[in-house]
Every structure is written in structure tokens, then in C-alpha cells.
Structure 1
Amino acid sequence: MQASTAYVTRLSMERGTADQKWVALVDVNNFYVSCERAFAPRLRGRPVAVLSNNDGCVIARSEEIKALGVEMGTPTFKLKHLVRRYRAVLLSSNYPLYADMSRRVNDVLSRFSEWVEPYSIDESFVHLPGFFTDTLKELGQAMEQAVLKETHLPVGVGIAPSATLAKLANRQAKKKTQGDRVYLLEADSEETRNLLMKTPVGEVWGVGGRLAERLHDLGITTAWQLREAPEALIRRRFSVTLARIQWELKGQACRHVHSDDTSRKQLRVSRSFGQATADQQDLAEALRTHVNRAAEKLRRQKSCARAMTVFLRTNPFNHDQPQHSDALVWVFEQPTADTAEMLHAANKLLRRLWRPGYRYHKAGVLLMDLADQSAEQLTLLEQPEHLARRIRSERLMQVMDEINRTQGRDTLVMGLNRPQAPWHTKQENRSPAYTTAWRELPRVAAR
């Protein structure tokens, strides 16, 4: 039995079973930067920023670089002086590493609860039924320490009776500068009341800017005022969603954290190029990469697509260049998740879309009208050879996915792409994919 599992079992046995249900929001602090620091201790204490695709602007910041006044979205060229003056480090985004580290965090959390709900790449809700209040702080500390020990990622843990209150508790946990980063909110405590009175209603999870303005018109400016507002008024003037948020602020869990990805009806993969290109071969390679990625995602969520859109466009901000933007749709004879079938369709559409003389800046694919793979029905009119071909295709895709899962992303793909092609995104300062590519594993030299 894992140590954390034994710990939770011990708490349950010692304290009995409670009727109250609790939920913890576990959020990795400065996730992208923390992932980089986990494998490069030299970055600790230094100003660090992670950059967007093509190294265009800042998408993640360390506390040190925030203190230098760097805002999200700051263009990279404006930060060069920080590198010289403050030894700031600017890193290209490394999404394979971040995704795998997110999975590892959730693996650790799953030993504390059978119900872990990822909300985003750096946040997960951990449902904790059956615990008394006086055990929760200790449990949160155990989760924080286990994640830090096994992944080297620092987290904040906010615990409350509902997801909305857990969000607010997590925000308070991350503000702590000493000791553990665990914060507990009870539904009707004086501490909760004081926090809600200080929280602007626009900062409540699920209350956007326009909704906050409408609430302000009614004199509701804080989270506490929203909680205490007449329920009939909220239901009459607003949607049922806001009524659920009101109940959540009272500690009544009544909202789903995250919708199931398999319910999506579309799946899009696209990316701007590192350099604009007029070469049809470059576009074919870019689309081949996008189709491989989209098909893999489709199979992972156990879906298949009935149609696919391929689109191209030039850079609309280059006013001195001729402009072209177009898209075409391919409808498959049968819903499919076969990479080869999608590549065949994408190549046919590209030949119809491409126009000589235009420098294209972006290309992508959109899989549409998705269906659950398990619900797909074989037609009675399907010929035996077609059925045999489909079974071979499914087996081939399973082998590809298993090899890529165990040996690293893109170990096996359909089609060969040139590593230095201009459509590749700029990643001049990308760290290695330490956990997902064999050739990029950390190396230790013995002396």
C-alpha cells in the first residue's frame, strides 16, 4: 500500500466517518516555471519567464520576474535588458513536459482520493468525503508534501465544502509566505464571512465582468452580498448558474467542476508558423503534423470524426503582402479515427486550397461532428473486405498509440517532416522533454 493511501486510511479509522463532504483544490504555483525549475535548480531564485509559441510573448512568470514589473503578454523583445541586468531567463514553452508533469501530480493526488477531477493543466479538484473538520488541515499538508517530494512542484491546497469556496481558499493558501500552503474554509465560520466580505463579486469563480456589472446595479458588490441576496431575486433576474454559485458560496456543492472532454463536438489543432512560407511541401508537412496530433487526441478520448475541415491563411498583419484565407470540408464515408484516412483527405484538400505566390502564416485542421467510438455501428451493407480493412486500421492505430505512450511523443508518426522546415515554431530556448523523450533524458556524469 502506498504511504499516502495508508495515511488516509489511518485518519478514517481513527476519526470515524463524517457526513460532511469536502473538496480540495490543488493548484501548482507558477506551474510552467515550476516544471522548468524541477529539472534545473539553477533557475531557483532567478527571474524566469516562459514564452508563447514562436517565442512571441510572456505566458508564465516566476515571482521574481513579476517583481520586476513584467506583465503577462509582454513581447519578448522588451525583456532583453532584463537578461543583461538581472540575469533573467527566457524559456520557450515545453508543453510535452508540462502535460506529463500535470499527469504525475494527479497520480500522486489519486492516492488520497478515488475522485480526482483535473480542472486545468495546473489545477485539480480532489473530493474528500468522510472526513471530520479537524483532520482536513493535516490531510492537506500531506497532499502538499507528497506532491513536492515526488514531483518537486510546490502547490497550494484550498479545502472547503464546495468547489467555489475551495477556489477562494486556494487563493488564500497561495498567498501564505511561511509554513504550509493549506487553507481551510468552513461554510459558516466567521473567517469565511470576513473573506467573502472582502472579495469583489467579480472575483468569484463563474462571475464574469458583465455579470458583475449587472450585480453592481443591484447593489451586490461583494461575494458575501451575493451569498446573502434573496434567492428569488437571483433566480428571477439571472440564470440558474448564478443561483448555483450562490448556493456554492453557502457551502452547498451543486455544480460540476469540469465537463467530460468526450462530449465535445469539435477538435481543433492549428499553429502559426515560425516563418511564413509559400512552399506547398511546407504546408503539407505542417498539416501532416496537425493531423497526426488531432487523430491521436481523438482516439485518446475514444471518439471518431464524421468530417474534417482544413484551413490555410496568410498573416493579416502584413499589409504589404497579398492575402489569402480559405477552408474546405471533407466528409468521411464512415466516422473515423484513422490517421492515414485523415492524411489522405488533408492532402486532397490542400491541393485545392493552395495558391502559388502567397506566403502562408498558419494552417490547421478541425475535426467535426464527433461521435463516441463505442456507439459507432457497422452497416449491414459493409463488404467483408471493408470490415477487415477497418479492423487492421484499428489495430495499427492501437500499436502507434501504445508505442508513443511508452517510448515518447512522436516516436512513431505517419509521414516524414524536415526538422528545419520554416513552418516549425521558434523554440530557441526550449528545455529538454525530460520525461517524455528517451533521447532527452537527463544525463548524469560520474567523476
Structure 2
Amino acid sequence: MGHPGAVLKSCADLLALCDCNNFFVSCERLFRPDLEGRPVVVLSSNDGVVISRSNEVKALGVKMGEPYFRVRSFLERHGAAVFSSNFRLYEEVSARVMACLRRFVPSMEVYSVDEAFLEVPPEGKKKPEEWARDIRAVVLTETGIPVSVGAAPTKTAAKLAAERAKKRPETGGGFALLPGEPWDDLLREVPVEDVWGIGRRWSDFLRRRGISTALRLRDAPDDRLEKHLGIRGLRTAWELRGIRCFPIEEQEKPQKSIQSSRSFAVPVRDRESLAEAVTEFTLTAGRRLRSQNSLAGSLSVSISTSRFRGSFFGARAEVALENPTDSDITLIRAAAGALSSIYREGHDYEKAEVCLGSLSSAGTVQLSLFGKREDRGAALSRAADRLNGEAGRRLLLPAALLGEKEWHPRKDRHSGMGLEDLETLPVISGEK
């Protein structure tokens, strides 16, 4: 499977991608086995758009990202079950899936909440498709989540193999693109926009130049790819040739910035309600900040009205923090100050965002000459994270956030389930 433009050697080793099938839908079905075989969708925050579809819904032609109001009647006519998103449940189930996978591989990279790249162990390299199906069976038995596993020499090819495993029932959920074997037939079937790392960012540009499939991308000249797509695009083509350019990264890379934002269920006009929302978003961002062991050096707040109702108003303010911090107390105080500087009366605000920037590692913080890090506030925040995590709900939070808030995103179809509720499910005995 050589290529005249390739100066690197093809990889003879294998890695794999494990991809959870219709993940959010599969999580909801854990508590509703009666929904197996029935159309099911999960909606985004505020019940806005479709973000997860069962195979039955895909067969009906409902697209990902379809606004719910447009397909609501259609889904009702087909007897579909509709759920508001339950991200706490999805994160809990994801942790179980990843823990299960870790037992069977030398190393792995958690790529997203429903995907992980795996190093195929020596015993799996002998019969990779059989190994992939065995992994699928174990994950399904232990977590209840169906997965697809694709093996290949490179990450980009493994993504394509996993997609083939997902869409072709005859594969049994496992498929391999092996080193040295021809991949042309599969690559010819894959639209260029479906190649990992290409998407819409580059697909229109490539199609205008006659590169419409993964096969044509693989065979494009190196100098042309590097000129127009940069080194990342060139490496993607190399990976389609079996040359590994993106290794498994066991250590999760910290985010360079952290955002938390939501659209409100109802427009917010008064300063107090807007401050409550900004406080909640700051807490969410702070929790993510501490989870990756980082400190924030700056914070920004953005607020905006609807672009489709009346005249638009939007504003943003950024503040530099005196010392890098992960203390909720400091972050909330900074967010309140930023909001006060941009709030204007008389507007119906529909969205707010908090962004933490200038991130640095908590282990390498550089103290200023006269400043001192607020250890008590940071310690209190970490203690709240631990207690809330153990309880599976928010036990500790600012008093301003107690009670129901009109601006909270709509979750009219929220299942309200968590993994702790598995203990309450009825047990069906086989004994007479």
C-alpha cells in the first residue's frame, strides 16, 4: 500500500478506536429497556436541537442538529421517545465504559465522552477483528452500552474502521484495516468530509479541486496538501496511507480556555437574575478548571439579547486576576464585577457566557512579589467538588442559587436518572 510521495514508512503496528453507539440514547435506554427498537432522541440544553438519535430515528431521516420544534410532530407520529439531556448520567456511564476498556489494553487515550483510542495488545494483533468483537461483548455485558471497535495502524484509519463496524451489521461490531492490505475500496466510499480532521473546515475547498473522497485525499500530492491544508492536513493524508502521525496520548491535554454558557429558558431582564446565571456558569467553569489541575489568570463575561427579536445588544468584559486562581470565591467576585460593567437596563437577555483564560498548571504557579494565593478559597472549592461528587448532586452551592430559577434551561423531558438509581430497578427472577 505504498505511495510515491511518502517518505515515511508504513506502520506495522495496530491501534483501535472504541466508539459508543448513539451514546446518549444508549444511556437513557439503560433505564428503559422497553425502548429497544423504538425511535429515541436526546435533545440539547434547553431542549433546542437533536443531539443523539437511535438507529430508528436515523432511518426516519431526522438529521443531527435538527431543531426540535421542526420535527416534534413528525417524531410524535412515529411514536418516538424524547429526552432532555442528562449530562451527569452520561459522564457517569462514560467513566464506567473507560474503566472497563482500561483492563484490556496496555494504554489508551480518552478522546471524548464516548470515544477512546486503544493500544491493541499482542494477543489482539493476531486476530484483530475477533479481538474487537470480544471487547465489544465485554463492554456490553458490563455496562449495557453497545460499542463499535475499529482497528488500524493509524488513528485516522481506525476512525474509518470503527464507522464501518458501526454501519455494517455483518461485521459484528468489529472491523480492521490491516497493514499491507489494500484499503482502496473502503476509502473510495468515504466522502472527504467524513475523514477525521477534515469535516466542513476543508471539505468544500477540497471538493472544488476534485478531491471528493478519502481515496483521492490519500493520493493527492504532498506539496499540494501542505500548501493548502498545512502540516495537519498532510499528516491526515499520510495516516490514510498507513503512516502513523498521531500517537496515542495517555495524558489528557489541559484546555487552553474554559467556557460555560447557556441560553435561558425565558428572557432575563433584571440584574439579579442575570447575576445568578453568571454565578452558576462561573461555578461550572471553576469545577472544570480544578478537574484539569489548572489556574485561571483572566475571566470574561459575555451577555447578549436575541438576534431575531428587536434590536440586538451584546457586550463582553474581561478582567485580569491579580494572581492565578482556582477559587470559586475569587472567580465569582471577578465575574460579578465584569457583569456590572456591561449590564444595561431595558434589555431582554437570552444568553450569558463565562470564559476562563490565561490558564496555567496549578503545580507550577508563579506567585507575585507581594501577592499571596488564596489557599483557603481554593481548598473550600475543592472540598465542595468532592462532597458534591460523592453525593451525586449539588449539596454545597451559593445561597443565591437555591430554589428553582425561571432562567434555568428547559428540561421538560429529563429522565432524572443517575447510576445510583440502578439500585432501585426491579429485579426479575428466573425462579418460579
Q: Report the TM-score, using the length of structure 2 for normalisation.
A: 0.88
Is the CA contact 1:285–1:417 (under 8 Å) kept in the aligned structure 2? yes
Aligned with residue 364 of structure 2, among 353, 375, 391: 375
SS at match of 2:275: helix
State how far apart, in whole Å, the 1-side matches of 2:404 and 2:356 are: 28
- Structure 1 position 289, deviation (Å): 0.8
SS at match of 2:30: helix
- Partner of 1:10 in structure 2? none
One-letter code of the match for 1:109?
L
Listed as ranges, the matches of 1:209-358 within 5 Å are 209=200, 211-212=202-203, 214-216=205-207, 219-235=210-226, 238-256=229-247, 262-319=253-310, 323-358=312-347
- Change over 3 Å in CA distance of 1:381–1:248 after alignment to 2: same
SS at match of 1:39: coil
Task: Tell me which moved more, 412-421 or 40-49.
Answer: 412-421
Task: Tell me which moved more, 69-78 or 92-101.
Answer: 69-78
- Structure 1 position 358, deviation (Å): 1.7
State how far apart, in whole Å, the 1-side matches of 2:102 and 2:325 are: 33
- Structure 1 position 285, deviation (Å): 1.4
Is the CA contact 2:328–2:378 (under 8 Å) kept in the aligned structure 1? no
- Structure 1 position 82, deviation (Å): 4.0
Q: CA RMSD in A?
A: 2.6
Is the CA contact 1:24–1:125 (under 8 Å) kept in the aligned structure 2? yes
- Structure 1 position 290, deviation (Å): 0.7
- Change over 3 Å in CA distance of 1:215–1:92 after alignment to 2: closer
State how far apart, in whole Å, the 2-side matches of 1:342 and 1:153 are: 38
- The CA deviation string for residues 19-65 of structure 1, in whole angstroms up to 9 with x for no partner, is 94211111111111111101211211111111122112222111112
- Structure 1 position 276, deviation (Å): 0.5
1:433 aligned onto 2:414: no
Listed as ranges, the matches of 1:132-211 within 5 Å are 133-178=125-170, 180-190=172-182, 192-209=183-200, 211=202
- Change over 3 Å in CA distance of 1:210–1:328 after alignment to 2: closer
Is the CA contact 1:163–1:248 (under 8 Å) kept in the aligned structure 2? yes
State how far apart, in whole Å, the 2-side matches of 1:221 and 1:274 are: 41
1:443 aligned onto 2:424: yes
Count of residue pairs brought into register by the alignment: 418
SS at match of 2:290: helix
State how far apart, in whole Å, the 1-side matches of 2:56 and 2:212 are: 33
Task: Tell me which moved more, 360-369 or 416-425.
Answer: 416-425
- The CA deviation string for residues 401-440 of structure 1, in whole angstroms up to 9 with x for no partner, is 21122221423223342433111000001012312xx6x6
Is the CA contact 1:340–1:414 (under 8 Å) kept in the aligned structure 2? no
Identity %: 36
- Partner of 2:388 in structure 1? 404
- The CA deviation string for residues 120-140 of structure 1, in whole angstroms up to 9 with x for no partner, is 222111112545643322321
- Structure 1 position 195, deviation (Å): 1.4
Is the CA contact 1:119–1:258 (under 8 Å) kept in the aligned structure 2? no
SS at match of 1:126: strand
State how far apart, in whole Å, the 2-side matches of 1:162 and 1:364 are: 37
One-letter code of the match for 1:285?
E
SS at match of 1:298: helix
- The CA deviation string for residues 335-358 of structure 1, in whole angstroms up to 9 with x for no partner, is 111001111222233333322222
- Structure 1 position 235, deviation (Å): 4.2
Is the CA contact 1:22–1:127 (under 8 Å) kept in the aligned structure 2? yes
- Structure 1 position 227, deviation (Å): 2.9
- Partner of 2:6 in structure 1? none
State how far apart, in whole Å, the 2-side matches of 1:353 and 1:202 are: 40
State how far apart, in whole Å, the 1-side matches of 2:349 and 2:210 are: 51
State how far apart, in whole Å, the 2-side matches of 1:243 and 1:208 are: 15
- Structure 1 position 309, deviation (Å): 0.8
Aligned with residue 403 of structure 2, among 419, 433, 443: 419
- Partner of 2:3 in structure 1? none
- The CA deviation string for residues 78-103 of structure 1, in whole angstroms up to 9 with x for no partner, is 33434553321111111111122112
State how far apart, in whole Å, the 2-side matches of 1:367 and 1:38 are: 35
State how far apart, in whole Å, the 2-side matches of 1:200 and 1:76 are: 27
State how far apart, in whole Å, the 2-side matches of 1:74 and 1:219 are: 30
- Partner of 1:57 in structure 2? 49
State how far apart, in whole Å, the 2-side matches of 1:401 and 1:164 are: 36
- Structure 1 position 380, deviation (Å): 4.7
Is the CA contact 1:20–1:129 (under 8 Å) kept in the aligned structure 2? no
- Partner of 2:4 in structure 1? none
- Partner of 1:393 in structure 2? 377
Q: Report the TM-score, using the length of structure 1 for normalisation.
A: 0.85
SS at match of 2:110: strand
SS at match of 2:278: helix
Task: Tell me which moved more, 423-432 or 308-317.
Answer: 308-317
- The CA deviation string for residues 146-179 of structure 1, in whole angstroms up to 9 with x for no partner, is 1101111111110011111111111110122246
SS at match of 1:81: helix
Q: Give ranges in structure 2 of 5+ residues lacking alignment.
A: 1-10
Is the CA contact 2:108–2:250 (under 8 Å) kept in the aligned structure 1? no
Q: Give ranges in structure 1 of 5+ residues lacking alignment.
A: 1-18
- Partner of 2:352 in structure 1? 363
One-letter code of the match for 1:114?
P
